[in-house]
Chain A
Amino acid sequence: MSTDAPPILELRQIRKEYMLRQGMLARLRGGGKPFAAVDGVSFAVPRGSIFGLVGESGSGKSTLAQIIVRLIEPTSGTMLFNGQDVAGLDRAAAQRFRRGVQMVFQDTGSSLNPRKRVRRVIAEALAARGVTRANAATETARLMDRVGLDTPMLARFPHELSGGQRQRVGIARALAMAPDLLVADEPVSALDVSLQGQIINLLQEINASLGLSIVLISHDLAVVARVCSALGVMSKGHMVESGPPSRVLVAPEHPYTRTLLAAVPSGLKGRRQTDRTLMDAFAAGDMAAATAPVGSEA
């Protein structure tokens, strides 16, 4: 891969507005004004890399994910896939794009049809990619092996799988489309630490062996620090800071990033800080005096 190959994905000044419904929020904010869930976000994902997105709840991470996989259209801004503006794609190219960008969700359980066995979930994805019946069986076996599932699992329904196994099925389904880019929105948030590692390692392994580019959304800074070559920190629709974890998480420039780091529970170390002022500040919802208030909505 030459270094001047275009990034697999580039976002330029992406903005997504929603109209607030007439609820309490709308009243508090003064009528049905549009509000920007994503407000002018730009970043690039180099081909073959893992890019992390972190930030507080409601900061726009999932909205960005949906924009990237084109589940929703941005209000304004440009998105380039492989250097090509996706807005201008013709039908065939748009279809190729949709197949080439796949998503893995936090709770695969709810994204899997409860009445479909694993075998069918994967068969349908393979068929959608145009894999012939004749090749489907070997391809299925290869996928199952890649995500670390035994073949007997093919006969199971989603509810007969553990959370970690469901997540593997979700990844196998995405891989069945032979994507160039995988968007994983909190893929391990619902799992225990012991399983989190297994799934994160799987994503890393897929990235390394297939060269698959990944956008990884997570609220676990330690996970992002470990596997991403770059990350962006989201706060209230803005990407307040981005760069390699060794810089952003070690010498954060933005106060919000510092708040985020301070909020990571530090186990015994935190307990031994006899000074509990941080906890008190958190209890009061005052996330950091230094930060522009993150809003009392939290």
Chain B
Amino acid sequence: MSGPLLQIDGLHIAFGSRSVWRDVVRGVDLRVSAGEVVGLVGESGSGKSLTALSVMGLLPLGAKVSSGRILFDGTELVGMRDGAMNKLRGRDIGMIFQDPLSALNPAIPVGKQIVDSLRTHASMTRRAAEARVVELLDLVGINQPAERARAYAHELSGGMRQRVMTALAVSSNPKLLIADEPTTALDVTVQAQVIGMLDRIRRDLGIAVLFISHNLDLVASICDRVSVMYAGRVVESGAVEPLFDAPRHPYTRQLLRCVPRLDGGTGPMPTIPGLPPRFGSVLPGCAFTPRCVVSQARCSAQAPPMRRESGHLSVCWEGVP
């Protein structure tokens, strides 16, 4: 295939009503190639979920893509008609959320929900679909899949629900899976299971994954590339190893210092003082200025330049003469 599977260029997303629209996502570029796992990290409110939802055509009421392009497999998704979007969403792009309960129907056994999806999107017979459900539940690591298929969502633990939702999301054999903070509500052992499962799905099914998280260690452990967002913009992106080994953007560096380590010693934890800007009150220059430990006079007034070195991108004034 030529070109990336997902290509987002200059995406702006605005909230508002009739006359007043405020951009909360302010020019995001993002690429995901077939079979690749790309991480999207940043503090809460930085625009990760909205970016993901815009790909799914599922922006909340009051939000719209105000400019930019979203190409999926070469097809423009911005402005696509609902019917076509629905089809694509069910078949080629799957999504899992932080809260699996919101995506699962409480009144229908989980297996039946996957059967329904298979029959709609893969036009399978009931028999074939039922057999496939057992395979899928097994793939996501559910023991006794045939029995579990008959359970209702509320009868499963958080980790199991996350597995079921993943089985549902990959049932149509999508090319892309968007996982928005899939483990944020889970404890570390269950989190490790879900991450292991995602890794396996990617290897076994070759599905590309857009992995959204504010957990930097998770991103480092399963992603190939990563984009760091701050206040609606990508401030740094690149291959995982160079980016985590030698982060170039001050925000990324400060964020990495905050990650608690088992061997991190005692005393106060490192923090980033202050809060991310509330949207609508963003500076003309770099939005990170008030919290940046290496900010310069020009930072708040002038938008920082975008610099790329062997695929590693950083948007910052630091080191610019």
Residues of A within 8 A of B (CB): 23-25, 55-58, 162-164, 191-198, 200-201, 204-205, 219-223, 225-227, 249, 259-268, 270-271, 276, 278-285, 287, 294, 296-298
Contacts and interface: CB of A to CB of B under 8 A. Distances in A.
Interface in B216-273: 216-218, 220-222, 240-241, 244-245, 254-255, 258-262, 264-272
Contacts of A221: 188, 262
A226 B265 contact: yes
Contacts of B295: none
B44 interface: yes
Given A226-B266, A276-B199, A279-B195, A193 B221 contact: no
Interface residues of B, number: 56
A258 B245 CA distance: 27
A282 B192 contact: yes
A191 to B, nearest CB: 8
B47 to A, nearest CB: 14
Contacts of B143: 285, 296
B61 interface: no
B199 A198 contact: no
A112 to B, nearest CB: 18
A281 B160 contact: no
B68 interface: no
A225 B260 CA distance: 9
A265 B192 contact: yes
Contacts of A266: 217, 221
Nearest to B43: A192
A197 to B, nearest CB: 4
B222 to A, nearest CB: 8
Contacts of B245: 268
Contacts of A222: 260-262, 264
Contacts of A24: 151-152, 155
Contact of B192 (A57, A204, A263): A263
A271 B240 contact: yes
Contact of B196 (A23, A271, A282): A282
A196 B189 contact: no
Contacts of B193: 282-283, 285, 287, 298
Interface centre among A25, A282, A294, A296 (most CB of B within 10 A): A282
Contact of B260 (A191, A196, A281, A287): A196
Contacts of A280: 196, 200
Given A163-B44, A192-B44, A266-B217, A298 B196 contact: no
A73 B321 CA distance: 67
B258 A194 contact: yes
B309 interface: no
A221 B261 CA distance: 8
Contacts of B300: none
Given A264-B262, A279-B199, A280-B196, A287 B189 contact: yes
A265 B218 contact: yes
B49 to A, nearest CB: 13
Nearest to A291: B189
Given A265-B217, A298-B160, A56 B187 contact: yes
A260 B151 CA distance: 28
Contacts of A196: 258, 260, 269
25 contacts: A24-B152, A56-B190, A164-B275, A192-B214, A193-B215, A194-B43, A194-B254, A194-B255, A194-B271, A195-B43, A197-B271, A200-B269, A222-B261, A222-B264, A226-B267, A260-B188, A263-B188, A266-B221, A267-B244, A268-B220, A268-B245, A285-B142, A287-B189, A294-B189, A296-B144
SS class, residues of chain A in contact with chain B: helix
B157 interface: yes
Contacts of B258: 193-194, 196-197
Interface in B87-106: none
A259 B218 contact: no
A226 B270 CA distance: 12
Contact of A260 (B142, B189, B197, B266): B189
B271 to A, nearest CB: 4
A293 to B, nearest CB: 10
Contacts of B159: 57, 298
A198 B160 CA distance: 32
Nearest to A282: B196
B188 to A, nearest CB: 4
Contacts of A227: 266
A23 B262 CA distance: 40
B62 to A, nearest CB: 16
Contact of B157 (A55, A58, A191): A58
Contact of A283 (B141, B144, B157): B141
Contacts of A200: 269
Nearest to B193: A282
Contacts of A192: 43-44, 214
B132 to A, nearest CB: 19
Nearest to A261: B262
A249 B264 CA distance: 13
A67 to B, nearest CB: 20
B188 A226 contact: no
Contacts of A191: 44
